[in-house]
Chain A
Amino acid sequence: MNTIEMKDIHFSYTEKEEILKGINITIDERSTAIIGQNGAGKTTFVKLLKGLLRPNSGKILLNGTDIADMTVAALAKDIGLIFQNPNDQIFKNTVLSEVMFGPLQMGMSKAQAEESARKALEMVGLMNMEKINPYDLGLSDRKLVSIAAIVAMDTKVIIFDEPTIAQDYMGKERIKKIMKDLRAQGKIVISILHDMDFVAETFERAIVFAKGNVLLDGDVKTVFSQKDVLEEAYLEQPSTAKLCHELGYGEIFLTPEEFIAMKQKEA
């Protein structure tokens, strides 16, 4: 089982302001959503995991090994990050060469890299698009290219930074499925998100960041039950949970499907 342990992580960009103020978390196989206000420290947290930033103090252990001694290049084989905006990530002129780039950098042979890339493209549903320039694709498909490019590297950990931005309903459904498939393969799936309904529908665990601290950490149902604490972190409950709260229910439901099933059973 893969794990990431963060032990008392402190980080600041400037001397004046501490961004992370002693984070203690163990990330396990549960799919995990990182939520919190803009500026709460979510992206900083992810950059620390990737080794792009190094903590001022504290340790990060990947399957028991301290990543402080690992280079960014070495870490890239274990931890993949999908950028928020695919345009910041994509730079090759065909879909296939874009998705092969990571595996080649990791030292795979051309044949291995191509096989890995084709498998990743199949997983995200972009077969037969190998020769297209990624910038000739719509934003939804271009996002899938950026996801496939990381999936092809077969890392133990895959981090998504706000994957649902600019995605329509179909796009979100596809991303949801990819995340669940990766989870089923035993990978650690972590995502920063602002879309609470998507978190409720897709993830097992939610960690709430607020002002550099972990405010809440638990299974999504427990976290989303705590309306007042969420509001303190400038967040809100998912739509269905809001309805349960307004109706004065003791228990919340996370999705309209769960709510409807409960109501139909009641009737």
Chain B
Amino acid sequence: MAEIKVENLKYRYPYTEKLALDGITCEIKQGEFIGVIGKNGSGKSTFCQALTGLVPTFYRGAYGGKVFIDEIEVKNVEVDDLCQKVGIVFQNPFNQVTGSKLTVYEEIAFGLENFGIERSQMRKRIDESLALLDIAKYKDRAPFDLSGGQMQRMAIASIIAMEPEIIILDEPTSQLDPQGSEEVFQAVQKLSQKGITVIMVEHKIEKIAAYSDRVMLLDDGKLVDFDIPQKVFSRTDLEEHGVVPPTYTRIGKALNLRVSETDTYPVTLQEAEQLLAHRQE
């Protein structure tokens, strides 16, 4: 099972002047659920690509520092050597779908076929991921006939079926209705409880606060903070970094509610509810 180690990672896209990633150092343990936040352009997606090796083996550009997945240094191997270990769900499912498959079922099979997975094993994995994302009823539909939300779930299912040790999700719930996005968070949490390391970029800040073990705050390519959600969201300078804290933290700050265990403001509904109910008594 996989751990991630990033040492002073710097990266600049070709034909640009600014560093997209500027000196990032961090360690992520196996099975952790990491939420990545920051304003648009802060480096979130680029950081994800650096973990898959697409930066720098596909995107090229100027690269410094080191990224290790276990003992493997990412830039020294081909992307196809890493992709059994690290799976990525793209921000826009249109960019991920092969476009060559006629059904959802075949689309999900595509990655497994390329890995040469044995047929019965393949069927089992596809059925499991269809069930996990609740899209079994669409398995015979054409991928491009799906709605945005359904397609997003298919994209996640196709990665989960490959059983990566690390799964990276770049805004995987942007097109889902509230229940659909709750289901994706729960499905992903199950994966992390099974020991799969999860890195998720999301703007849905209340959900990140509720589900992440640790939150990574990026701004201008730099790692501003990497800590438990309570600590990161209680920062007084959060809005200067273009992130607004969860509703429950904003209420906690204004009403001076403190969670004693973490010595922070509340970040989840439960924390805020307990503190307010206690005050009422």
Residue of B nearest to A239 (CB): B247
Segment among B103-111, B118-126, B178-186 that sits at the interface with chain A: B178-186
- The answer to whether A169 touches B248, judged by C-beta atoms less than 8 angstroms apart, is no
A240 close to chain B: CB less than 8 A: yes
CB distance from A182 to the nearest CB of B (A): 23
- CB-CB under 8 A from A234, the residues of chain B are 177-180
Q: How many residues does chain A have at the interface if contact means C-beta atoms less than 8 Å apart?
A: 35
The answer to the question of A16 belonging to the interface, with a C-beta cut-off of 8 Å to chain B, is no
Task: List chain B residues, Cβ under 8 A from A84.
Answer: 148, 175
CA distance A76 to B83 in the complex (A): 47
CB of A213 within 8 Å of the partner chain: no
A49 to chain B minimum Cβ distance, whole angstroms, is: 18
* A37 contacts B180, C-beta separation under 8 Å: yes
A94 at the interface (CB under 8 A from B): no
Give the distance in Å from the alpha carbon of A259 to the alpha carbon of B250 in the complex: 10
Q: A256-B254, A260-B251 are in contact. Are A38 and B176 (CB under 8 A)?
A: yes
Q: Count residues of B near A (Cβ-Cβ below 8 Å).
A: 39
Shortest beta-carbon distance from B105 to chain A in Å: 19
Given contacts A236-B178, A243-B273, contact A168 B203 (CB under 8 A): yes
Contacting residues of chain A (167-212) with chain B, CB-CB under 8 angstroms: 167-171, 194, 196-197
> A196–B247 Cα gap in the complex (Å)?
12
Nearest Cβ on chain B to A126's Cβ, whole angstroms: 15
- CB-defined contacts of B147 to chain A, threshold 8 Å: 38-39, 43
Which of B51-59, B66-74, B160-168, B238-246 is the interface stretch?
Answer: B238-246
Question: Which of B91, B178, B179, B277 is most buried by chain A, counting CB atoms within 10 A of its CB?
Answer: B178
Interface positions of A from 224 to 246, Cβ below 8 Å from B:
234-236, 239-240, 242-243, 246
Q: Are the CB atoms of B178 and A171 closer together than 8 Å?
A: no
Q: Are A194 and B177 in contact (CB under 8 A)?
A: yes
CB of B195 within 8 A of chain A? no
Q: B128 in the interface, Cβ–Cβ < 8 Å?
A: no
Cβ of A250 within 8 Å of any chain B Cβ, yes or no, is no
A263 lies within 8 A of B255 (CB): yes
Interface of B is mostly: helix
Q: List chain B residues, Cβ under 8 A from A167.
A: 40, 203
Identity of the chain B residue whose Cβ is nearest the Cβ of A246 in the assembled complex: B273
| Any A CB within 8 A of the CB of B206 | yes
Q: Which B residues between 223 and 277 are near A, CB-CB below 8 angstroms?
A: 239, 242-244, 246-248, 250-251, 254-255, 269, 272-273, 276-277
Query: Are A243 and B272 interface neighbours, CB within 8 A?
Result: yes
Task: List chain A residues, Cβ under 8 A from B181.
Answer: 194
B158 at interface by CB-CB < 8 Å: no
Instruction: Kindly identify which residue among B250, B269, B276 contacts A242, using a CB–CB cutoff of 8 Å.
Output: B269
- CB pair B251–A256 under 8 Å, yes or no, is yes
Q: A39 and B255 in contact (CB under 8 A), knowing A140-B40, A242-B269, A256-B247?
A: no
Indicate whether B139 reaches chain A with its CB closer than 8 angstroms: no
**Are A166 and B273 interface neighbours, CB within 8 A?**
no
**A111 at interface by CB-CB < 8 Å:** no
A102 within 8 A of B: no
- Indicate if B150 sits at the interface (CB-CB under 8 A): yes
A-B contacts, 9 of them at CB < 8 A, read A38-B176, A138-B41, A140-B40, A166-B203, A169-B39, A236-B178, A240-B251, A247-B273, A260-B250
A sample of 19 more A-B contacts (CB under 8 A), given A171-B40, A234-B179, is A38-B180, A39-B150, A138-B41, A162-B148, A168-B38, A169-B203, A170-B39, A196-B178, A197-B206, A239-B206, A239-B246, A239-B248, A246-B273, A247-B277, A256-B247, A260-B250, A260-B254, A260-B255, A263-B251
A residues apposed to B, CB below 8 Å: 36-39, 43, 84-85, 138-140, 162, 165-171, 194, 196-197, 234-236, 239-240, 242-243, 246-247, 256, 259-260, 263-264
